[in-house]
Every structure is written in structure tokens, then in C-alpha cells.
A and B are shown apart, each in its own frame.
Chain A
Amino acid sequence: MSRLDALKTRIKEALPGLECVIGWQKGYDALHNTPLFIRGEADVDKLEWGALNVHNPAVYLPSFAGKKVGVVVKGCDSRSVVELLQEKLIDRDNVVIFSAGCDGVVDIAKVRAKLAAAGLNAGNAEKVAVDGKTVTVTAAGKAVSMPMAEVAADKCLRCQFPNAVLADAFVGDPAPQVQAAPAADADLAALDAMSVPERMAFWRYHMDRCIRCYACRNACPMCVCRDHCIAQSREPHWLSQEDSVTEKLMFQVVHAMHLAGRCTECGECQRACPMDIPVLALKKHLNRTIHDLFDYQAGVDVAAIPPLLQFKLEEDNIKERSW
């Protein structure tokens, strides 16, 4: 039985006790899957499992607070669920986690680039077939094969958790561990290589095209303030309506700082960005900092307290300045 069929069987069994089960279904074209909310048995057959399930369904969980729901997760998504449980933003008794081994998802932007290189438009994609190491996209009657390693999302190239950290129903064989590809953190490496003024120019260059749509925030499973986000509040008035790099960058700083010690690097902020701004680099850098300072990784242990919500009388790695 395939992973997908096994998942469907388990969901059908559990569905009568659940408000809904969140997963993925076929989207508006062959290249895109979209989130699926399974409310009845007929919906279960729409479920998809595979390389096109790019979204993180954990983002919807806090909006179902108080209701018992199921969620289908990849390994990386399960970390977001764990982090939400850690912070008591959702209740363990009210969430049923379904999962299976994940062999990685594609980065649609990379697929689009590959198709463009072959003279094809991603909008014409008719069929997508993924078998192990190769993705074959048929567009305008022409099939283009691309190695999975070249179109996989960056996070998949250095994935530490191909299997869910926490699951109530884990089906099929676990997926094998990934050997971290050296190029996976190229964005951080590129920033590290720059001087401090160059980084200022870098963010000036990128944030200039931000349209302040807040897609990065809305796609983030850890951004739970929703309508109370300080980016749009007038009291306190953190950000003005002014269309300046300062205001746009300040929002990214707000987002990153509010995720310090909480971000599981699912990469949804950057994937959702319609302007292709490398906003994940800020969070990656913060996660690295948190790891260096507190030897902590978010979303792996339900019982762990996030590092900025606790302290030690004598910090191990903080060397204060002597004046």
C-alpha cells in the first residue's frame, strides 16, 4: 500500500471524531497543490502526498483552537506543530497528527526557471511526474526532466527531519536521512562573506521592491497574532504607512525578532513572497545565533521551554563587556 493510500485509510478511520483534517489537494494547475480541508469522507480521496505539497498546514491550526482537528504533516511541518504545542498555542488533546516519510518537496521557483530555460512557460504545465530522483514536467506537449536535487527546496537539501518529530499516525516506511548538500545554506554564506556596509546595501536593494503584502507573515505558522500584528496596529504605532525601505525592513526585523528561538525554518515566508525577497536569511542567521548561544533548536521537544522565555543565573555563552 502506498503512503498516500495508507494515509487515506487512517484519516477515514479518525474522521468521525474530527472537525476536519488539513492536508493538500491538486491545485489550479498540474504544478501546484493547494491546502485541503477534509470535512467528509468524500474529501479524503482528494488528498495528495508528494513533492508538490509545499505548504505548511500547521499554519491553520491556531485558527481551529478549541476544536479537535487532524493535520497531515511532512517532517518539517511537524516541527511547527511541536513548537505550537510547546508554546501552548494549541492543545495536544485537540490535534491528531498524520504523517509519512517525506522525500522532499520542489521549489516552484526553481521548476519555473528550469522550464523557462527550456523555452516553456510554467503556466502551461499539464502533467508533473515525480519518481525518486527525477521530476518530469510536461508543458505545451513537451516533457522536461529535471533532477530532484536541482529543483528541491533549499530546506530539503539539508533536511534533518524527513520523518515527523511527533505523529499519532505515522504510515509506511520512514524516509532516509539526507546527506546535507554543501550549497544548501548558500544564502547565509553569501551574506557572511559581505562586509557590514555591503549587507546594508544588500537589504536596501532587496527590500526596495517589497510591496508590504504581508504574505510572509500570513504564511508563517508561528505568526499567531494575526489581526493584532503590531505592523498594522495604530496603538502602539510601530510602522507608518510610508513607502520607504526603512519601514519595509523594520517589518522584517519585527518578524525575525518575534521568531527568535521559535522559528523552525520551514521557509514558508520566503516561498510565499511574491517579490522573491530572501527574507529567510534573517531567520536562518537568528537560528544560528540561538543555537550558538543556547544550544537550542526550536520544535523538536514538546517539553522544552523556548530560550528567550527562560534564563540561567550564569549564562554559559554570553560574555559581557567589561568597561
Chain B
Amino acid sequence: MPVLTGKELRIVGFLCNWCSYGGADTAGVGRFNQPTDLRIIRVPCSGRIDPLFIAKTLINGADGVLVSGCHPRDCHYAEGNFYARRRLEVLKRFLPILGIDPARFDYTWVSASEGQRWQKVVTVFTEQIHALGPATRHENVSPELLAKVASAIQGGNRVAA
């Protein structure tokens, strides 16, 4: 068993190639201390991120997802992050209806020069996920809770008859 089991959680980061990935690199080059729970996936642009990437990551059991791109008006492709902002905000508000705590997902903007900001974002987000603890998957819902919800559904399977 890996030595960090129980101490680390699984946090997935989607970072745009031009700003945030560079920002994370800057933080590394500057030797800023950061928590190591975050696994980074590099994407060409925050506009490349399909909200379903995040939904699938969370539904399949990740404890947190962080998205970071260029600051608005600073996108390498001029407007990718403007589209991303709308999609990501819609997704963030969609998660709670699925039974996923919206605090497990956040999106932000970090430029390539902002190593310190990156350090802060990672630290704050990781602490936030640790406060929530490991995520429950739909398949692992406790039998008591399942029984409670099932007994509340009467008159067929509809939410409300």
C-alpha cells in the first residue's frame, strides 16, 4: 500500500497549456511548498474542457476537480476561456442536483507568471477537499440512506405523482 494512503486525496486538475500550466511550473521553479494531492492534466485551452470531463471525473470517484485557465481577456486563443467560464459555472450549479457537493469542484484563472497565486490556489483548494474528506460514489451510498430515500418515494416511481 502506498505510504500516502489515507493522507492524500485524489484531486484532478485540468490546466491550460499557456497560462496555468506555466503558472504551476513557475511555482515549481520557485520552489514554493505545495500539497501533492493534485494530479495535473494539461489541456490546450480551458475552452477545450468539456464539462463532462469534470462530471465523469467526479462521478467516477475523484475527491475534487480544479480547473484553471488564462485570466479572462488573456486567453491564448482570444476567447476560449469566456466560453469555458459559462460552461463551468453551469456545471458547478448542476453538480448538487446529482448529489455531488459543488465545493468539490472549482475553477479559477492563474497566469504563467503567478507562481505564488498558484501555490495559494492549490493550498486552499486542497485544504477545502480535505475538510470534505473522501468522496462517496453513487454505488457506495449507505444502505440506511438508500432505504430512507426509497421509503419517501410513494405512489409509483415518480418523484411526485
Contact = CB atoms under 8 A, between A and B. Distances in A.
Interface of A: 109-110, 113, 183, 186-187, 189-191, 194, 196-207, 209, 238, 244-246, 249-250, 253-254, 256-257, 260-261, 275-278, 281-282, 285-286, 289-290, 292-294, 307-308, 311-313, 315, 318, 320-321, 323
B29 interface: no
Given A113-B161, A278-B158, A321-B106, A200 B100 contact: yes
A199 B138 contact: no
Given A113-B161, A201-B146, A308-B83, A246 B59 contact: yes
Interface of B is mostly: helix
Given A282-B98, A320-B108, 8 more contacts: A189-B160, A196-B96, A205-B150, A246-B139, A250-B55, A260-B87, A289-B90, A312-B82
Contacts of A200: 98-100, 136, 138, 141
Interface stretch (B3-11, B14-22, B116-124): B116-124
Nearest to A252: B98
Give the size range of B's interface with the partner.
35 or more
Contacts of B90: 260-261, 286, 289-290, 293, 308
10 contacts: A187-B159, A190-B160, A197-B145, A200-B100, A200-B136, A201-B146, A249-B98, A250-B56, A261-B90, A290-B90
Contact of B121 (A260, A281, A293, A323): A323
A203 B109 CA distance: 33
- CB-CB nearest 10 A-B residue pairs: A200-B99, A186-B160, A187-B159, A311-B82, A199-B99, A276-B157, A201-B149, A201-B145, A285-B97, A289-B93
Contacts of B42: none
Contact of A113 (B94, B146, B156): B156
B139 A204 contact: yes
A311 B86 contact: yes
A318 B142 CA distance: 35
A293 B91 CA distance: 12
Pick the most buried of A196, A238, A261, A318: most chain B CB atoms within 10 A of its CB.
A196
B82 A250 contact: no
B94 A191 contact: no
B15 to A, nearest CB: 15
B55 to A, nearest CB: 5
A261 B106 CA distance: 21
A110 B158 CA distance: 10
A278 B157 CA distance: 8
B31 interface: no
B58 to A, nearest CB: 10
B134 to A, nearest CB: 13
A85 B32 CA distance: 53
B155 to A, nearest CB: 8
Contact of A253 (B52, B93, B148, B159): B52
Contacts of A205: 146, 149-150, 153
B96 A257 contact: no
Contacts of B142: 201
Interface string B101-119: 1000010110000000100
B73 interface: yes
Contact of B89 (A110, A191, A293): A293
A311 B60 contact: no
Contacts of B96: 196, 199
Contacts of A245: 138-139
Contacts of B141: 197, 200-201, 204
B160 A198 contact: no
B86 A307 contact: yes
Given A276-B157, A320-B108, A323-B120, A204 B91 contact: no
Contact of A323 (B59, B108, B155): B108
Contacts of A257: 51-52, 55, 91, 94
A107 to B, nearest CB: 10
B85 A253 contact: no
Contacts of B59: 246, 249-250, 253
B85 A190 contact: no
Given A187-B159, A308-B87, A323-B121, A253 B97 contact: no
Given A308-B90, A323-B124, A238 B157 contact: no
